[in-house]
Structure 1
Amino acid sequence: MSDFSFDKEFQGEAILEYGDSDFIILKAGAFVRCAVTNDPIQLDQLRYWNVDEQEAYKDVLVAKQRWIELNSEPGK
């Protein structure tokens, strides 16, 4: 965990805008929540997100699961 997470300015949940290869911090915080599991993800550990849905994912397996949900045809 980075030292910045101990600074009072960076405690609590952050609000981010997700881009193609990075993100912009709109509200400072130490973590965001996984859109699927609701688990906290420390900003220095955030690796997976969806730009179109503006969602963060805790790991590659959750990101893949969500991609399948968003891209599968109904009824299949």
Structure 2
Amino acid sequence: MLMSSSERLAVLRYEANGFRVIAPGTHVKCAVTGEPIQLEVLRYWSVEHQEAYATCTVATKRLAEVD
């Protein structure tokens, strides 16, 4: 995915029912793959580990490793 120069990394606080924007931006990075995830499509994260994941498969694999 190509990112424009106007896009910047957001800092989020991941919560049980959503996330809170700490520093505004357009995307976060997947904790496993490093790929950018636009905030509009962010669906998978860990409250405990405060990490975002690109897909359900990536999230499941990561959480199986750390738990």
- Using the size of structure 1 for normalisation, the TM-score is 0.79
Aligned residue for 1:69, secondary structure, equals helix
Unaligned 5+ runs, structure 2: none
Q: 1:3 maps to what in 2? A: none
Between the aligned partners of 1:39 and 1:45, the Cα distance in structure 2 is 13
- Give the alignment's Cα RMSD to 1 decimal: 1.3
1:22 to partner: Cα distance: 0.4
Deviations 1:2-44 (A, max 9, x none): xxxx9x5xx3000000000100000100000000000000000
Equivalent residues, number: 63
Between the aligned partners of 1:63 and 1:12, the Cα distance in structure 2 is 23
Aligned residue for 1:41, secondary structure, equals strand
Q: 1:70 maps to what in 2? A: 66
Runs of 4+ in 1 over 2 A off after TM superposition: none
Q: Which one has a larger percent strand, Structure 1 or Structure 2?
A: 2
Over alpha carbons, which structure has the higher Rg?
Answer: 1
